[in-house]
Amino acid sequence: MSFEAVSEHLLAPTELSIDKLDSVLASMYQHKLDYADLYFQASRHESWVLEDGIVKEGSFNIEKGVGVRAISGEKTGFAYSDQLSLAALQQAAKAARGIAKQGQSGTVSLLKPSSAPLMYPALDPLECLQKEQKINLLKTVDAFARSLDPAVTQVIVSMSAVYEEVLVAASDGTLATDIRPLVRFNCSVLAERGERRERGSSGGGGRHSMEYFTSSPEGEQQAFTYAREAVRQALVNLEAIDAPAGAMPVVLGAGWPGVLLHEAVGHGLEGDFNRKGSSAFSGRIGEKVASEHCTIVDDATLMDRRGSLTIDDEGTAGQNTMLIEKGILKGYMQDKLNARLMNTASTGNGRRESYAHLPMPRMTNTYMLAGEYEHDELIASVKQGIYAPNFGGGQVDITSGKFVFSASEAYLIEDGKITAPIKGATLIGNGPEAMQKVSMVANNLSLDLGVGVCGKDGQSVPVGVGQPSLKLDELTIGGTQ
């Protein structure tokens, strides 16, 4: 059903049809290529921002185009156009195939529509709520956040929805389409007390309807829980004392702190870096790269999650890939190019920001499986250290393995008890070494709320992370005391 709808929408307004795509791919194979693909994309994006109690900004964005890629050995030629027409497509195809010399090599497989199990509903989230309902939701969340504490002096509430259709046609016979809804809600507040001001922020989303934000899975409308959480974080940070500096035991909370795995492990296990030998994990499959408590997967097959994929941007079905099992490195995340050059199969991790960007191996939802301890046992085991339940962003140097991530909410642990909140600080470590120091993993696996954005080579894609609470025996905390 989705296939007909998407090919109708993307191709029908132009003079294009599936057999024309066949002929464009065949024309590219007049040069010595190993692979070629066409990626059609059309998206609509709507967003609303409330600030100072008024709906200040609203925007509507339309993007569409086609990307054409030709691969010969390790070489890639790439061109794209924002015109969906046969002439523009042929021109891009001619430019891309120039990567290889003329001369027939393989043949193009006949395009055959394939389908994969849907990981999210084929709905248009822009149409889920009336504009009046969206505006009303922003206003009620604003009033709710302000009502929670007199220290709250500013509230910014935003929501956005994207409806995207893609079609991939490739010389290996792949012909696949996907409808990708993506929604996001956020609440950010400023709290002031005396001389101090602090921000708190919380939000969530996923590949589902906007109605999720007005649903009440736990008694309170989802959008209100973000406001409550944003206010709570701002108030905690108003009380925060200076953070300590130096190496010490760290307990990371469940959920979003899984950004640890994304930085310390995830990027280093992307196929391109490992093919090129530039990752700290290169050539280490079968080796112990983490403690035996660590089992880590990249899983595109979780229903409705922000990082999930029915198909990746090369038309490969989304998969659940074992990366590290009980500390042993099991596999890398692959796209078609790197899989072919490493003699393995794509793991459905070929992703691109848009038709105007080249696909690369990228993460989907990366998380650690649950362990056996109770969360409280982890805290109780630390004499002097840090408990960090919330994080901002992170970064990694995949070659040296050094990674950082910044705590946005953290506390001292003293004699097995959580005590004073501390100011945000950066935590730094070395991926393979830090993962060996994971000594306890709790039984409370949870995934983040659906806010992750991953950047690589200037391309942004939505991702998910998750983990149970875990304890690292030692990590360096970048405080001032």
Burial class (CB in 10 A: 0-12, 13-18, 19+), 287: exposed
Q: Which two tokens stand for residue 371?
A: 């362990």
- Cα–chain-centroid distance for residue 321? 15
- Comparing CB distances to another protein, the nearer of 6 and 92 is 92
- Please tell me whether residue 96 binds another protein under the rule CB under 8 A: yes
- Please tell me whether residue 397 binds another protein under the rule CB under 8 A: yes
Near another protein by CB under 8 A: residue from 348, 389, 394, 421: 394
Smallest Cα–Cα separation from 423: which of 296, 256, 239?
239
Contacts with another protein in 53-92 (CB under 8 A)?
54-65, 74-83, 92
- Comparing CB distances to another protein, the nearer of 289 and 300 is 289
- Comparing CB distances to another protein, the nearer of 62 and 110 is 62
Q: Which two tokens stand for residue 451?
A: 């806010």
Near another protein by CB under 8 A: residue from 28, 36, 89, 99: 99
Burial 128-137 (b: 16+ CB within 10 A, else e): bbeeeebbeb
Contacts with another protein in 259-298 (CB under 8 A)?
276-278, 280
Contacts with another protein in 123-152 (CB under 8 A)?
131-132, 135
Contacts with another protein in 347-366 (CB under 8 A)?
356, 358
Near another protein by CB under 8 A: residue from 90, 124, 328, 393: 393
- Please tell me whether residue 157 binds another protein under the rule CB under 8 A: no
- Comparing CB distances to another protein, the nearer of 10 and 302 is 10
How many angstroms separate the Cα of 225 from the Cα of each of 209, 219, 256, 371?
17, 10, 16, 28
- Comparing CB distances to another protein, the nearer of 237 and 467 is 237
Q: How far is it, in rounded angstroms, from Cα 138 to Cα 144?
A: 10
- Please tell me whether residue 455 binds another protein under the rule CB under 8 A: no
**Whether 303 contacts 208, CB under 8 Å:** no
Near another protein by CB under 8 A: residue from 122, 322, 370, 428: 428
- Comparing CB distances to another protein, the nearer of 134 and 305 is 134
- Comparing CB distances to another protein, the nearer of 149 and 377 is 149
Q: How far is it, in rounded angstroms, from Cα 372 to Cα 443?
A: 5
User: 440 CB contacts (<8 Å, ≥6 apart)?
Assistant: 293, 371, 373, 377, 378, 381, 470, 471
Burial class (CB in 10 A: 0-12, 13-18, 19+), 197: middle
- Please tell me whether residue 2 binds another protein under the rule CB under 8 A: no
Shortest Å distance, C-beta 55 to another protein: 5
